[in-house]
Structure 1
Amino acid sequence: MSHITLIRHGQANSGATDEQSYDKLSTLGHQQSAWLGAHLKAQNQHHARLFTGTLRRHVETEAAMQMGLTPIRDARLNELEYLTLARAMEKEHGVPFPTDQAGFTTHLPMLFAAWQRDEIAGAPERFCEFEARISDVLREIAEGDGPALVVTSGGLIACAMRQVLRLDIGAMAQLALAIYNTSQHRLFPIGGQLSPTMFNAIPHLEDPSRHFAQTHV
């Protein structure tokens, strides 16, 4: 088995209220991604393979990183559709769509729990299907030859950590809320299973001059 370094995309269009409008990097998102790529190259970290989801923000993050590897696009690495789920939950259960960060922080755990219980009829995919595709694609990547970089999204990373650490849905939501844009998360094979050896690392943003770029949304 090979180790996997999961990368969350750079800052997207955080003011959007639908999936299509959200799915593009902001100017800061492009800069975060470029800084991450420069850091990885400066540290001479060896990665034999590069994977991304098929979302625009994944593709733009990978392009800005300039890693010199030909990316493999895989839709199984795409994010859950939070905005679609939130609108469906509002319509079906009367739970208001969050309008600020405090509201989002409260809303996300509620939404994840309802989604896991199959209580959102308008969900674009069931939670069990989301989990299954993540498990399948990460297993396939780990079975490949050489360390892999995987550019994806925060919800998927949180779910991957839920799987390897056997966390409940509330803990998964807390992880998702904490994940920085362009953060690194490593899964390393130990005893035939993937185990987390890095979570939410942002060394490329730790210099005081870059603290403004430590964003979550």
Structure 2
Amino acid sequence: MAELLVIRHGQASFGQDNYDVLSDLGQRQAAAVGAVLRDMEWVPDRLITGTLTRQKDTLSAMGFSATPEEHAGFNEYDFHDLLHARYRGKVPDLVKGDRKTHFRALRDTIFEWQEDAFDGAAETWGEFAARVEAARVFATDTDARRVLVISSGASSGN
């Protein structure tokens, strides 16, 4: 069985029009992690990302040369959709505009999502969990010795 290393993408551009872009810090984070892995002589045989730009850019900045594969199961869940479902389309301005409030509300929303406490989300918790499991199986069903996955902080999905 392959060693599986799952790394979250570098810092994205929170509060920007396009969140699916690494910040300058995210680029530096990715390069640093790639350097650490090479210093440890941990070089992957297989590279996998989700389909998000920030995941692909993180892998690129890490500096490994193999051609990556993609699996949408490594994308994060759609947090905008979850917030809209929880608040029935009326997400409070403070939740949208204040980073601390946003992440607290998102945490609470995820707990409620896991308990099926609201309807209307594009993806149920069960569907998300199945998608992540399918991605794990995809990544580990291999002859590769070391598999590097660039995922998202949600464990995987969007």
Same fold (TM over 0.5): yes
SS at match of 2:105: helix
Deviation at 1:108, TM superposition (A): 2.6
Under a length normalisation based on structure 1, what TM-score does the superposition of the two structures give? 0.64
Under a length normalisation based on structure 2, what TM-score does the superposition of the two structures give? 0.86
Which residue of structure 2 aligns with residue 131 of structure 1? 129
Which residue of structure 1 aligns with residue 13 of structure 2? 13
- Residue in structure 2 matching 1:144, options 122, 142, 145: 142
CA RMSD, 1 decimal: 2.1
- Residue in structure 1 matching 2:107, options 100, 106, 109: 109
- Residue in structure 2 matching 1:32, options 17, 29, 32: 29
Using CA pairs below 8 Å that are at least 6 residues apart, which structure has the higher relative contact order?
Answer: 2
Residue 135 of structure 1 aligns with an amino acid whose one-letter code is: E
SS at match of 2:48: strand
Which residue of structure 1 aligns with residue 82 of structure 2? 85
SS at match of 1:62: helix
Unaligned runs of 5+ in 2: none
Deviations for 1:118-144, whole angstroms, at most 9, x for unmatched residues? Answer: 344331211101100111221232231
Deviations for 1:52-71, whole angstroms, at most 9, x for unmatched residues? Answer: 00001111111111111110
CA 21–84 in structure 1, closer or farther in 2 if over 3 Å, else same: farther
8 Å contact kept, 1:85–1:120: no
| Cα distance between partner residues in 2 of 1:44 and 1:60 | 22
8 Å contact kept, 1:41–1:67: no
8 Å contact kept, 2:72–2:135: no
Deviations for 1:163-196, whole angstroms, at most 9, x for unmatched residues? Answer: xxxxxxxxxxxxxxxxxxxxxxxxxxxxxxxxxx
Deviations for 1:39-60, whole angstroms, at most 9, x for unmatched residues? Answer: 2112211321110000011111
Deviation at 1:147, TM superposition (A): 1.4
8 Å contact kept, 1:25–1:57: yes
Aligned pairs for 1:71-82 within 5 A: 71-82=68-79
| Cα distance between partner residues in 2 of 1:106 and 1:13 | 18
Deviation at 1:105, TM superposition (A): 4.2
Runs of 4+ in structure 1 off by over 4 angstroms are none
Which residue of structure 2 aligns with residue 168 of structure 1? none
| Cα distance between partner residues in 2 of 1:140 and 1:56 | 20
| Cα distance between partner residues in 1 of 2:120 and 2:31 | 37
Unaligned runs of 5+ in 1: 160-217
Deviation at 1:106, TM superposition (A): 2.7
The number of residues matched between the two structures is 154
| Cα distance between partner residues in 2 of 1:138 and 1:30 | 25
Which residue of structure 2 aligns with residue 53 of structure 1? 50
SS at match of 2:77: coil
**Deviates further, 53-62 or 108-117:** 108-117
| Cα distance between partner residues in 2 of 1:61 and 1:32 | 8
Aligned pairs for 1:186-205 within 5 A: none
